[in-house]
Amino acid sequence: MDADQLKEMQAPIKARYREDPEAAVVTLKAEGAIGEGLSCSVETGRALVEAGLHPATGGSGLQACSGDMLLEALVACAGVTLNAVATALGLTIRDARIRAEGDLDFRGTLGVDKEAPVGFRDIRLDIDIDGDLSEEERASLLKLTERYCVVYQTLKAAPPIAVTLHSA
């Protein structure tokens, strides 16, 4: 896909959202059900993923770790966004590799130390690009990828989350 094809594809969508801002608000959903042992099966839209405890908290390592899944979502979103931004700007990228790493102190989630954070302490997103880009193009590509990556922006400025417990 080139920049013109992308713009042609998105033009009617953007026009609709300008005319009807509420049409642009879409509720994304995820569902899961607890399973055997300490697992939860999550429907991804493409497959069923069974998540479980990370080995650092007693898990077997045979199930997906939710922390890994969060980093995978960040990598996927950053990669798609990078590709779309490069396409829209008419930049030629031969290849790009995206990696995310995050540091967790498992004392927090295990309740070993109440002062230890529960959740990622630091997250690093690294992007290696193979393309003939000027420093200005690279800077613009990075800036716009950060700006338009949904997962990155959500992690950077976390929205309020409401948790409600219902009886079955």
Residue 109 lies inside a defined structural domain of this protein: yes
Q: What pTM did the predictor assign? A: 0.87
- Residue 67: pLDDT band with limits 50, 70, 90: very high
Helical axes 135-148 vs 66-89, angle rounded to 10°: 130
* Per-residue pLDDT at 95: 92
Considering 16, 43, 64, which residue would you say is the last residue of a domain?
64
Measure the CA–CA gap between 13 and 17, rounded to whole angstroms.
6
- Asked whether 64 and 40 are in contact (CB, 8 A), the reply is no
pLDDT at 129 over 80: yes
Per the prediction, the chain carries an average pLDDT of 91
Biggest distance spanned by C-alpha atoms of the chain: 58
- The answer on 112 and 92 residing in a single domain is yes
Enclosing domain of residue 122: 65-158
- Select from 98, 38, 44, 46 the least CA-distant residue to 69: 44
